[in-house]
């Protein structure tokens, strides 16, 4: 698989992982804002969509900022800072892309609350991602199939294989 395809796959998997981690936050917001369930809102998407986007943005930021450094060379604080930057970027984009018509009310404290919540969740998720990656690296699980035993084909089985598969 080419290097770019691996990076895209990694960014999408990071986004899916963060989406699953952020899912309870969306449900919690739904329980607070709509305790009786009268609003017709998909509260699951309130947590998972920003989590997915923040995970993908963090993966891009990590790829640019970390370069070719190994996980052992990265500090948790630095990675958390990069995660906070990704969250700030996502939260600011949502604020800037919103409705700015003359009749649209601007609620600055609410906007700042949303941006700070996304930034904080991104920083925590980034630090958690690094710690999880370090733990899996220590256990030797960073390579796909690392835990798979090596298959050995004896001579009798080798003779049964077609010539193209030897």
What's the domain count of the chain?
1
Q: How far is the C-alpha of 47 from the C-alpha of 69, rounded, in Å?
A: 31
Averaged confidence pLDDT in the chain: 81
pLDDT for the residue 109: 77
Helical residues (DSSP H) of 34-75, grouped into ranges: 43-66
Q: Identify whether the C-beta of residue 61 lies closer than 8 Å to the C-beta of residue 28.
A: no
The pTM assigned to this predicted structure is 0.73
Which range marks the domain in which residue 21 is found? 3-165
Where does the pLDDT of residue 36 fall: very low under 50, low under 70, confident under 90, or very high at 90 and above? confident
CB 22 within 8 A of CB 45: no
Q: How confident is the model at residue 89 (pLDDT cuts 50, 70, 90)?
A: very high
């Amino acid at each position: 698989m080419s290097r770019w395809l691996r990076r895209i796959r990694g960014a999408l998997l990071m986004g899916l992982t963060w989406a699953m981690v952020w899912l309870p936050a969306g449900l919690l917001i739904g329980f607070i804002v709509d305790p009786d369930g009268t609003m017709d809102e998909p509260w699951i998407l309130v947590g998972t969509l920003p989590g997915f986007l923040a995970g993908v943005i963090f993966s891009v930021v990590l790829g640019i900022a970390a370069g070719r450094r190994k996980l052992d060379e990265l500090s948790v604080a630095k990675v958390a800072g990069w995660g906070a930057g990704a969250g700030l970027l996502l939260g600011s984009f949502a604020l800037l892309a919103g409705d700015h018509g003359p009749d649209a009310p601007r609620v600055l404290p609410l906007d700042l609350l949303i941006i700070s919540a996304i930034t904080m969740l991104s920083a925590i998720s980034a630090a958690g991602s690094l710690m999880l990656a370090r733990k899996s690296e220590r256990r030797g699980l960073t390579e796909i199939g690392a835990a798979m035993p090596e298959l050995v084909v004896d001579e009798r089985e080798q003779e049964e294989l077609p010539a193209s598969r030897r």
